[in-house]
Structure 1
Amino acid sequence: MDPIRTDVDAPFGRIADLIALNARQSPDRLALADAQDSIGYAALDALMDRVAAGLQRDGVVHGDAIAICAASSVAYAAVFLGALRAGVAVAPLAPGSTPASLARMMRDADARLLFTDAAAAEVIGAPGEDAITRIALDASAAGQALADWLPPPGTRPFPVDVQPASAFNIIYSSGTTGEPKGIVQGHGMRWAHVQRGARYGYGPDTVTLLSTPLYSNTTLVVFFPTLAFGGCVVLMPKFDAAGYLQIAQARGVTHTMLVPVQYQRLMAHPAFDAHDLSRFQYKFSTSAPFNAALKADVLQRWPGGLIEFYGMTEGGGTVILEAHLHPTKLHTVGQPAPGSDIRLIDEEGREVPPGEAGEVVGHSSGMMTGYHRQPAKTREAEWFAPDGKRFIRTGDIGRFDDEGFLTLFDRKKDMIISGGFNIYPSDLETVLRAHPGVADVAVVGAPSVQWGETPEGYVVRRDGHAVDAAELLAWANAQLGKTQRLARLHFIDELPRSAIGKVLKRELRELNPS
């Protein structure tokens, strides 16, 4: 039997150890590639040793943390993996954050070292007197060159006893609802992701193309299983549809993770059907609503299976839609994954009866330890069943159908209460999106003296369509219930989104606060 499969079947293991096993089995097999660099498994394993040893030399020990703030690259990935070998948690930070937010996150993580690049260093700003040591991943002036910081070739770290509860990484939330929180994920949680990957064809022939950033959990749930099973990860630091299609064809890509807005842009690209994507086995998506019509288009025109994951960076269970196997369920996010206990609760924290809507909560082996240094926020995110079982609240409202498929309505915080009636923005967005002149849309609640709140839509026109706001408003309201009707529509060039495609509704509300 394949030793990798045997190890993955164990209740717990370390991803860094699987990379070492792949290095022994196939030393020259390609592990990582970006536009400028590539590295095989033996060289990656040796580089991870040097990173781990360098951290230990500098006094960064098991339980400490480092920060990485840079564009995705082979060097970035190698440092992340090397830190894991030393039992050091990684705080991967978004270069698109504000300088003040980045400083706060580094303090919150108590990061001992910062690995960065020239572009990110400009955002972070010049180091102060008490700033942590910076190492430049790109040989720029952003810090000490990585090549100079690393110990000599052949240096090995001393062994570290990593346990399932040991901190693997600290992922900072995207900040769509306010100040980011540090989500501490353990090695056990990541091991559960690797075990789940056994279902999706990862192996030595896998070529995974990733164009979402390495600081995002969206990316990491595919990145680590690919390497654990001996595949190759191709990193694309910045997504563009034409470049993505060229790489996918040239490298014979088999797996990918994309957020819905990226699928939208790829399927709309005029040259999409001219590219050979026949080697694709599985395409994954998560992190944002994926409308049924777009899923259907992907299934029709793009070879390979389509898998949608619904869950949170905080963990607490996963819902999976194998869209290619359930084409009549594309309006749902699927069924609970094996080992995931997904329930629905009401405002008072009681489970709702079958067929009713409620807030989605989940439990699984893959759950965050908590928010870093924020026990009160951790408690707010938890729900405990009467028997004491711990669940994580999602903040999403959903309902199960008779076959156990979960349909999501909206974020609890985004639900609009108008004249005492609950309005789900997603219902209104679905209607608007069906108009041929609408390319993208988001609906938010606006203050109303008469109703408390009233729904307003922000619409991106489709190229070549000169749809009028009054006409579109009348068209949509004719299809909506009396209590759902939109008060106003605003045209906008592009919806504000996070780096992983979530619409930043808070920013839309701030455009027209009155």
Structure 2
Amino acid sequence: MPDFATLDALVGHTAASAPSRVAIIDGDRKLSYAGLDDLINRAAAALQADGLVPRDVISICALSSIEYVAVFLGALRAGIGVAPLAPSSTPHDFAAMVGDCGAKILFMDETTATAMGSAADGPRRVSLDDSAWGRPFGTWCAAPGTRPEPVVIDPRWTFNIIYSSGTTGTPKGIVHSHGLRWQQYGQMDPLGYGPEAVTVLSTPLYSNTTLVCFNPTLAGGGTVVLMKKFDARGFLELSEKHRATHAMLVPVQYRRIMNVPDFDSFDLSSFQMKFSTSAPFASELKSDVLKRWPGGLTEYYGMTEGGGSCVLLAHEHPDKLNTVGCPMPDHEIRLIGEDGKPVASGEIGEIVGRSPVIMDGYLNQPGKTAETFWHDETGKRFVRTGDVGRFDADGFLTLMDRKKDMIISGGFNIYPSDLEAVLAGHEDVVEAAVVGVPSEDWGETPVAFVVLRPDASVDAAALRAWTNGRVGKTQRLADVAIVETLPRSAIGKVLKRELRDRLRL
């Protein structure tokens, strides 16, 4: 393994050694490694023809497609950073992110351009689906066989700028370098990301969750199967059809897949490893996946910002499914108290971490960058996660909650996850989310939002009484609201801010 290699260069290596191997499957379309490498060249040459130079930035906001992949990797080959943006963004946030990253060209498809309206207006636009919104990709892209001017990539240059979800304010641009990404996809072999890997990507390409699997699959010469929009049965059909070996899914996707009535009729025997990250993964759901879905199950806990990460090999530690595992090799995790000092063994604290994989910082926000780091007594830099957790005696980390979601009622700390776990134990409950609301008597008090099974017999009052009979006096719910669904981000995070806003209406 070389000391450093770019993702596009590794694609080029496979194109030279195995040109006919399938790189990308996009619906009925398949693209070989030779075809992908040529399309990357053509996109890189087109960017250079438009006057872009190394360290410039482009933005892509579109559904997953072959063209999306080609532009992303073509930009990297030309030394240009990529800011992949969420199609689910509001037009206001979208315009702010495009301006913040200084994108020289905006790549979209008709669906996303229509959703953004006037926020997508600008002088330099390329439509990935050849729609009338911008210059059609087919004519913008250089002719087949065109090669770009060679660029030697500095590992410190920007690979991508991934914007935070904005659930706690204006989205922040998280800058990842080529060197940081190499630390990830340069270690793909232990996870089986070799030439035989077939990875189904059902989460969007703007998400770090997706790139954690997308990058090593292509780096190792495997095949990526793109889903433009997730649905549980469609995922199972694609996995069976293409003999999938790997997949990254967020917990809500696992739940929907496992609830497909005829799940057990699908042949999933090709799976080697399944992954999950981005949101809390209930232990009973992990157990169901292990029992009914062939292959291993790996849960990652970490931040898009980098820092320390934990990994749980659930298939090897079925007795630790209530945890997110242990720190990864070369990753250091500590827990700190409100005073900024490490807590005693066995106590709860905010999770901070460090590793060779840490973001360069938030784009154009030195103040926010400084706030997210904690330094120990020797000056080592750790990323503050904002999560609260506790290590058990075996060194496995249990997550409690987001620090900002912790409820302080009458001077007592209430962890919503504890109440959510109790609610999940009721036979009529599909899922639940607990938030704190202002209280004149207690400062804050917990309220639960609950999704019930279609045939549920319990009502809100009965569920509240059932729950309060099983928790401590200080944890009792003030109210229960029955809802059809919980609001979630595109990668499955429950948007508790929206739930709190509902209570203020």
- With the shorter chain as reference, the TM-score category is over 0.9
The yes-or-no answer on 1:165 pairing with 2:134 is: no
Which residue of 2 is the match for residue 462 of structure 1? 453
1:385 offset after TM fit, Å?
A: 1.4
Aligned to 2:320: 329
What displacement does 1:128 show? 8.1
Give the match's secondary structure for 2:187. Answer: helix
Q: CA separation in 1, counterparts of 2:281 and 2:435?
A: 18
> How far apart, in 1, do the equivalents of 2:265 and 2:170 lie?
43
Tell me which moved more, 386-395 or 407-416: 386-395
Q: Which residue of 1 aligns with 2:237?
A: 246
- What is the aligned partner in structure 1 of residue 111 from structure 2? 119
Q: Which amino acid aligns with 2:233?
A: A
How far is 1:37 from its partner? 2.1
Given that 2:95 and 2:120 are in contact with CA atoms closer than 8 Å, whether structure 1 keeps it comes out as no
For the 8 Å contact 2:92–2:119, the answer to whether it is kept is no
Q: 2:97 aligns with which of 101, 105, 108?
A: 105
Cα separation, partners in 2 of 1:81 and 1:124, compared to 1, 3 Å: same
Following TM superposition, by how much is the alpha carbon of 1:132 offset from its aligned partner in structure 2, in angstroms? 3.8
2:438 corresponds to:
447
Q: Does 1:350 align with 2:341?
A: yes
For 1:351 and 1:427, how far apart are their aligned partners in 2? 23
The equivalent residue for 1:38 is: 30
Matches within 5 A, 1:270-349: 270-349=261-340
Distance 1:492 1:334 in 2: 32
- Alignment-derived partner of residue 89 in structure 1: 81
Whole-Å separation in 2 of the counterparts to 1:132 and 1:424 = 49
- The separation in 1 between residues aligned to 2:155 and 2:335, in whole angstroms, is 28
Normalising by structure 1, we get a TM-score of: 0.97
User: How well do the aligned residues superpose, as a CA RMSD in angstroms?
Assistant: 1.1
The alignment partner of 1:94 has SS state of coil
User: In the TM superposition, what is the alpha-carbon distance from 1:490 to its structure 2 partner?
Assistant: 0.3
The one-letter code sitting in structure 1 at the alignment partner of 2:414 is I
TM-score by length of 2: 0.98
Q: Write out aligned runs for 1:84-233 (5 A).
A: 84-126=76-118, 131-233=122-224
| Residue in 2 that maps onto 1:509 | 500
Is 1:53 the counterpart of 2:45 in the alignment?
A: yes
Secondary structure at the aligned position of 1:196 is classed as: coil
Name the CA shift for 1:361/1:127 in 2 (closer, same or farther; >3 Å). Answer: closer
Paired amino acid for 1:307: T
* Alignment correspondent of 2:61: 69
Q: For residue 60 of structure 2, what is the amino acid of its counterpart?
A: I
Q: Note the 1:419-438 alignment, pairs <5 A.
A: 419-438=410-429
Question: 1:457, 1:489 within 8 Å by CA — same for their partners in 2?
Answer: yes
- How many angstroms does 1:223 deviate by? 0.2
Partner of 1:3: none
8 A Cα contact 1:447 1:513, kept in partner: no
Which among 393, 415, 418 is matched to residue 409 of structure 2?
418
3-state DSSP of counterpart to 2:186: helix
Equivalents in 2 of 1:133, 1:294: separation in Å? 46
Shift of residue 161, structure 1, vs aligned partner: 2.6
SS at match of 2:190: helix
Moved more, 443-452 or 397-406: 397-406
Gaps of 5+ in 1: 1-5
Shift of 1:192: 1.3
Cα deviations by residue, 1:26-49 (Å, 9 ceiling, x for unpaired): 000000111142211011111111
Contact 1:112 1:132 in 2 (8 A): no
Equivalent pair of 1:211/1:258 in contact (CA under 8 Å): yes
**Partners in 2 of 1:462 and 1:230 — Cα distance?**
43
Note the C-alpha offset of 1:339: 1.4
Q: Please say if residues 208 and 253 of structure 1, whose CA atoms lie closer than 8 Å, have aligned partners that are also in contact.
A: yes
Q: 1:486 to 1:127 in 2, by over 3 A?
A: closer
Matched AA of 2:80: V
Q: Is the 8 A contact 1:188 1:365 kept in 2?
A: no
- Percent identical pairs in the alignment equals 58
> What amino acid sits opposite 1:505 in the alignment?
K
The 3-state SS of whatever aligns with 2:188 is: helix
Q: Secondary structure at the match of 2:253?
A: helix
Matches of 2:149 and 2:355 in 1, distance apart?
A: 33
Q: Please give the alpha-carbon distance, in whole angstroms, between the structure 1 residues aligned to 2:399 and 2:138.
A: 48
Residue-pair matches, total: 505
Choose the corresponding residue for 2:15, options 14, 23, 30: 23
What is the letter of the counterpart of residue 457 of structure 1?
A: A
Instruction: Give the CA deviation at 1:133.
Output: 0.8
Cα distance, 1:127 vs. partner?
Answer: 6.9
Measure the CA separation in 2 of the matches of 1:75 and 1:128. Answer: 19
Q: Given the superposition, is the C-alpha separation of residues 153 and 339 from structure 1 closer, same or farther in structure 2, using an over 3 Å criterion?
A: same
Distance 2:201 2:404 in 1: 31
